[in-house]
A = this chain, B = another copy of it.
Amino acid sequence: MKDIARDLGVSVITISKVLRNHPDIGDETRQRVLARVKELDYRPNLAARSLVTGRTYLVGLVVPDLLHPFFAEIAKSLSDVLRESGYYLIVTSSEEDPNLEEQEINHLLARRLDTLIIASCRPTVDLFFRIEKQQTPYVLIDRSLPGLAANFVGVDDDAVGMLATGHLIDIGCKRIAHIRGPETSPSIRRMEGYKRALMRAGLKVTDDYIIAERKGDVGTKQRGSEAMGQLLSLKARPDGVFCFNDPLAMGAMNYALDQGLRIPEDIAVIGCGNLHYDDSLRVPLSSIDQHSRRIGEEAARLVITILNSKTPPKPETVVLRPELIVRRSTQRRAAKLASSKARPRL
């Protein structure tokens, strides 16, 4: 910047103002500066700018697994929306490990990011109080924490459980099992929805029908397969399964099919996530769409709102309504199907 200023016989401050579209500068000077800037292919040092303005124009994203299409889609839509406002995304994965998550968040805090977006696997709220003490705004996505008044964007997981289970009931299932996810709010809520739907239909909740996620996360597809094995070995074999997410459902379906069972005739299966390949599977998979893209977009919108307001606004909660997508894995009685909009995407 000094060089340009010297070359043009103006001050460094003038250059700085031109670069930020400050209205102080006359048109002629502005043009001369811009010309020279382009000539030298000059770009201001954003680290120095951050130092004095206190803003980095960086937003941190912490997810449990970048490979999971659900989080990948969120990352993508987040990145798209934030970019339009000049913010960039620095992503990191917690691998579903609370300690790693803490470590990552600590590092991101040191970088003085403008906001954090977190799909947390932490069981307690202490870490988030620390974040608040640092004055760093944050937005929780997908997973909420009890007793924490924070910005949150996610789907109504209670409704997810009810919708999926209710659908299985509608098509005539009597013994409905549930394969759970990791110990976080979505898994808990979806199970509650599952139980409520059963009770509402006069069916009783059987503990044997609820398969918990194991600790060592071995990869959800294989886990789904194992869980289905467990279910099929029961005396009263279930005739419908609601899986926490689609990879689990894939594994579960594979196992059942390999055992010679028919889906949905012998056992119906429904997942959650509505992933892109659901309609291309051995048996196209019914699922609950949780609007992952919109979660990203809403979170981005929230972030921008927060960063544009002088004083931190009070926490906002965005809860999206899940949507039932019926495919063959639950198409047992054609009569009952009102909304069979299997939307083909990508």
| Interface positions of A (Cβ within 8 A of B) | 41, 43-48, 50-51, 56, 58, 65-67, 69, 72-73, 75-76, 79-80, 83, 88-93, 106-107, 109-112, 130, 133-134, 219-222, 247, 250, 253-254, 276-277, 279-282, 344-346
Contacts and interface: CB of A to CB of B under 8 A. Distances in A.
Chain multiplicity (copies):
2
A295 B33 CA distance: 43
Nearest to A55: B47
Contact of A112 (B46, B279, B282): B46
Given A47-B111, A88-B92, A250-B277, 13 more contacts: A41-B133, A41-B134, A47-B51, A47-B56, A48-B51, A66-B75, A67-B72, A67-B346, A69-B72, A83-B92, A247-B276, A253-B280, A280-B282
Contact of A277 (B51, B130, B281): B281
Contacts of A89: 90-92
Contacts of A346: 67, 219-222, 247
Contact of A66 (B46, B72, B93, B282): B72
Contact of A221 (B91, B109, B276): B276
Contacts of A44: 110
Contacts of A250: 277, 280
Nearest to A73: B67
Nearest to A257: B280
Contacts of A41: 130, 133-134
A130 to B, nearest CB: 7
A72 B106 CA distance: 24
A90 B93 contact: no
B51 A79 contact: no
A338 B66 CA distance: 35
